[in-house]
Chain A
C-alpha cells in the first residue's frame, strides 16, 4: 500500500458524505439574504434622495415666489377694479392704473405722496392711520396740477405697458379730478377709508422675500491632510498598517513588521443647501465627493498565486501583492474615495454683517466608493488589496471655525480651518478595529444664492 493510501480512502469516503439540512434552513438563508440586500441600496439612494429633495425644495420656493409675483399683479388689477368701484377715491388712482408694477402703478404713493420716502415709511404710516395723511398730501400735491401731470406724464413715458394709451386720459382727467378730489376727500369719513390693497401686496411681497432669504445654496470644498490615528483619539504615533491576519494568540507565528502610515492629502468638493434657523444659528446639508489619502512603505510588487490569511474572511488567494521590504522600500499611496453627506450647524459668534465669524459643528456620513488601499498579512509578510475588509460606511464628527468674506458681493465666501474625526474604524470590526481616519484642513463654502 502506498504512503498516501489512507488519505485517498478517507478523501473518497468523505467526499461522498451527504447530510440533509433541517427544514427551516433555506428560510433562514433567504431571510438573511433579503435583509442584506436591502441595506446597501439605501446608501446609494440616500445621496440621490437628498439632492432630489434639495432641488425640489429650491424649485418649490422659486415657484412659490413667481406665484407671489403673479398674485401681486393680480391684486394690482383687482385693486384697480376696486378703486373703480369706489368712485370717491378712484378718480386719482384710476388715472394712474395700467402698469404691472406695484410702485409704478400707484404714482400717488411713490411719486406724488411720498416723493422721497421709501416704501417702508408708507407702511409705517399706514399702520398709524397715515394713509389718510398720504391721500391728503397727495391732494395737496395735486393742487399743482401742471407739475403733477408733468410727473405722471414723464413717468408714463418711461413705461412700456399701456401708458401711451392712458396718458392723454391722465392729463385730461387731472384738471377735473384734482379739484374734485380735494373736495371729495375732505368730506370722506376717515373710518371708511381702507388702506389700498396695493400696500398690502407690497408688504406681503417684502415678507415673502425675507422668508426666501432663509434658504441659500452653493459650492463647498475642502483641502488638507488626512492621517490615521491608532488606539485613541489624536494618537498619530506609530500608526501602522493593520495586520488583518487572525491567528490564535497562543499559536507561534512568523513575525513581519508592518509599515507605518504617513499622512496624505485630503480633499472634497460638492454642493450644499443652508437654512437660517434664526439670526444666530443656521443648518446646512451637503453632498460631497471626498478623497482621503495615506502613504505606506512597501517592497516589490509580485504577481502569482499567494494565499493570505484574511482575518474574518478566512484565507484567500491573491494574484497581485507587495512584499515587505526593509532595505529599499517604495512609497505606496492608499486612496479612499467616498461620497459624503455632511450635516452642519453654524453658530454665529459675532454680530458683524460684513465679516461674520462662525463656529461649525456637525456630522458626516460617508459611503466608500472605491479604494486601492493595502492590507497587511503578518503571517506571510504580504500587502494586498481587498475592499471587502474596509468599513464601507464611515461616520465622522466635524468641527471648525470660519469667517465670512465678500459678504457685500453676489458670491459670499465662508472660509476657515476645520477638523474631522472618523468615529468609525477603517477596517471592519471582525477583521481588525484599531485605526481611524482624521483629517484637518481648510473648508470653503461659496454661496451662489
Chain B
C-alpha cells in the first residue's frame, strides 16, 4: 500500500491500516528494541509501547523522511525511557568511567550473524550497551548522546570506547573458539 495512504488511514484511526503498519514494521522494530533490552519479553513491551506512541502521534509525521526511520526513532526513544524507569535496568545503567575495561582501536571483521552480534551487545553492561547502540548503530554523535542521557560528552566517548573494546575482545575470543572447534588434526 502507498505509505501516504497508510499514514492517512492510521491518522483516521482505521484498525486495518494500523494492523498493516504493524505487520510491515514490527519485526524490524522488535530487533531494534531487542538490542536495548536484556530479555525478549522486555523488548516486546518496549515495542508495544512504541507502537502505541506511533499510532497516537502519527499525525506529526510529515513525510520529511522515511516512515521506518521515524518509527525507529520512537522505538529508540521508548527504549531509553524504559531503561531509565525500569528498576531492573536502573542499577546497571551506570555511566561512571571506572576504567576497568580495555580500550581497543582494532577494526576486526564482524563475521558472526546479526542475532549473535545482538546477543553479544546485550551482554554488555546496560550503560555500555545503550551508548554503543546509540553511537555505532543509530549514528548519533557523542554530543547528542550526552544530551539525551544527561551525561557529559566525554563520558559518552569514554564509555563507548570501553564498550567497543569489550565487544571486540569477545568477538575475537568467539572467533578463536570457532577456529578451535572447527580445527581438524591432520
Contact = CB atoms under 8 A, between A and B. Distances in A.
Given A247-B149, A247-B151, A250-B94, A13 B139 contact: no
B159 to A, nearest CB: 11
A17 B52 contact: no
A352 interface: no
Interface string A243-268: 00111101111100000000000000
B30 A19 contact: yes
Contacts of A187: none
A199 interface: no
A312 interface: yes
Contact of B115 (A17, A29, A246, A380): A17
Contacts of A19: 27, 30-31, 34, 40, 43
Nearest to B136: A7
Given A14-B35, A252-B152, A309-B150, A33 B28 contact: no
Contact of A21 (B30, B95, B115): B30
Contacts of B77: 313-316
A307 B168 contact: no
Q: List 3 tightest A-B contacts by C-beta distance, closest first.
A: A247-B150, A17-B31, A314-B77
A276 to B, nearest CB: 45
B169 interface: no
B186 interface: no
B70 interface: no
B13 interface: yes
Q: How large is the interface on B (under 10, 10 to 19, 20 to 34, 35 or more residues)?
A: 35 or more
Nearest to A6: B107
Most chain-A CB neighbours within 10 Å: which of B18, B26, B164? Answer: B26
Interface string B78-89: 101100110000
29 contacts: A4-B107, A6-B107, A6-B168, A10-B137, A11-B136, A14-B35, A14-B114, A14-B118, A18-B30, A19-B27, A19-B40, A20-B27, A25-B26, A29-B51, A30-B15, A246-B84, A248-B95, A251-B151, A252-B152, A253-B150, A307-B147, A309-B150, A312-B84, A313-B77, A313-B81, A314-B77, A314-B148, A378-B150, A379-B150
B42 interface: no
Nearest to A19: B30
B173 interface: no
Given A248-B93, A378-B150, 9 more contacts: A14-B31, A14-B114, A26-B26, A28-B48, A246-B84, A248-B90, A309-B148, A315-B77, A430-B85
A314 B76 CA distance: 9
Most chain-A CB neighbours within 10 Å: which of B13, B28, B80, B148? Answer: B148
Nearest to A378: B150
A415 interface: no
A37 interface: yes
Q: Provide the main secondary structure of the chain B interface.
A: helix
Most chain-A CB neighbours within 10 Å: which of B113, B118, B147? Answer: B147
A247 to B, nearest CB: 3
B2 interface: no
Most chain-A CB neighbours within 10 Å: which of B43, B137, B155? Answer: B137
Interface in B57-77: 76-77
A273 B55 CA distance: 40
Contact of B139 (A11, A30, A246): A11
A346 B96 CA distance: 59
Interface in B114-143: 114-115, 117-118, 121, 135-137, 139
A9 interface: yes
B148 A246 contact: no
Given A36-B56, A315-B148, A379-B147, A252 B22 contact: no
A160 interface: no
Nearest to A2: B107
Nearest to A11: B137
Given A247-B149, A312-B85, A18 B27 contact: yes
Contact of B150 (A33, A246, A313): A246
A315 B121 CA distance: 22
B19 interface: yes
A3 interface: yes
A116 interface: no
Contacts of B19: 26, 30
Most chain-A CB neighbours within 10 Å: which of B19, B44, B155? Answer: B44
Interface string A357-388: 00000000000000000000011100000000
A22 interface: yes
Interface in B88-105: 90, 93-96
B34 A17 contact: yes
A14 B117 contact: yes
Contacts of A3: 107
A312 B80 CA distance: 9
Given A19-B31, A22-B44, A314-B81, A308 B147 contact: yes
Interface string A298-313: 0000000001110011
A16 interface: yes
B55 A33 contact: yes
Given A246-B150, A248-B90, A33 B44 contact: no
B7 interface: no
A251 B149 contact: yes
Nearest to B141: A307
A17 B40 CA distance: 14
A1 B107 contact: yes
Contact of B149 (A4, A32, A309): A309
Contacts of B96: 250-251
